[in-house]
Amino acid sequence: MKNLIIATAVLICLPLGCASISEHGKMEAYGRTMDSYGTALRLSDFNAVCQYIDPMVMGRSDCMKRYENMKIVSYDLLGVTVAKDRREVTQAVEVEYYFLDRYVVKKIGFEQSWRYREDMKDWLLQTSPPHFEPR
């Protein structure tokens, strides 16, 4: 009887533990995504950067045009808000950049919204890149 009670308790708690592990896995994936996205942006590897944008938000060619003729100087995370279900993250970021034909460094702040896609088991950016001012 005692073994049956222990086995029942384990079976009841197992889904709760799996949910916790699943949530932890999502946030680990978020950390890896932010590391690789931030690195790609800092290196001005816009081909890689545009892979993180949900195709429903912006197509790849439109994304590449947004970064045309520019170089990123810095990408800084100013704040992060995580939704209770841990499937959405909003970030306040600041980017310093210049256009290759102007060499005047500009700074822009904006928000990025990331969503975890269960079907892909990955995070995708739900906001398009900002309009960078050439002046």
CATH number for the domain whose boundaries are 2-125: 3.10.450.50
Is the pTM above the cut of 0.85? no
Q: Where are the domains of the chain?
A: 2-125
Choice among 8-12, 24-28, 96-100, 124-128 with the minimum mean pLDDT: 8-12
Looking at residue 12, what is its pLDDT? Answer: 43
Taking only the tens place, the pLDDT of each residue in 71-119 is 999 999 999 999 999 999 999 999 999 999 998 999 999 999 999 998 8
Give exposure, 14-49, as e/b (b: 16+ Cβ within 10 Å): eeeeeeeeeeeebeeebeebbeebeebbeebebeeb
